[in-house]
Amino acid sequence: MGLIASIVVGLIAGLLASRIMKAKTGVLMDIILGIVGGVLGGWLTGLFLGQNLMTGFNLTSIVVALIGAIIVIAIYRVIKRK
């Protein structure tokens, strides 16, 4: 997936994840969370399904990145609590 597509997918997924998880982050942090979530989601789908579903700018990639970003936010909250 190209750099621009990764950033756009990351932005969309990060914005959605921050709204779902009620995280108080800025747009830049939403992009970072979405990109990290996309990497995590792609790795997890590759691990469990045998195929990386982060394939470009499409709904599947956004959903995978969204799930990954939600996981990243949840892990961050657990670490922050300690």
Tens digits of residue pLDDT in 22-75: 888 788 888 888 888 888 888 889 899 998 888 888 999 899 999 999 999 898
Give the Cα separation of 38 and 35 in Å (integer): 5
- pLDDT confidence of 1, banded at 50, 70, 90? low
- pLDDT confidence of 2, banded at 50, 70, 90? confident
Domains held by the chain: number:
1
Give the Cα separation of 62 and 64 in Å (integer): 6
Give the Cα separation of 51 and 65 in Å (integer): 15
Range of the domain at 32: 3-81
Average pLDDT over residues 1-8: 78
Give the Cα separation of 69 and 49 in Å (integer): 19
CA distances from 2 to 5, 18, 19, 46 (A): 5, 24, 26, 18
The 3-state DSSP class for residue 19 equals helix
pLDDT of residue 5: 81
CA angle in degrees (0–180, nearest 5) for 24-17-48: 140
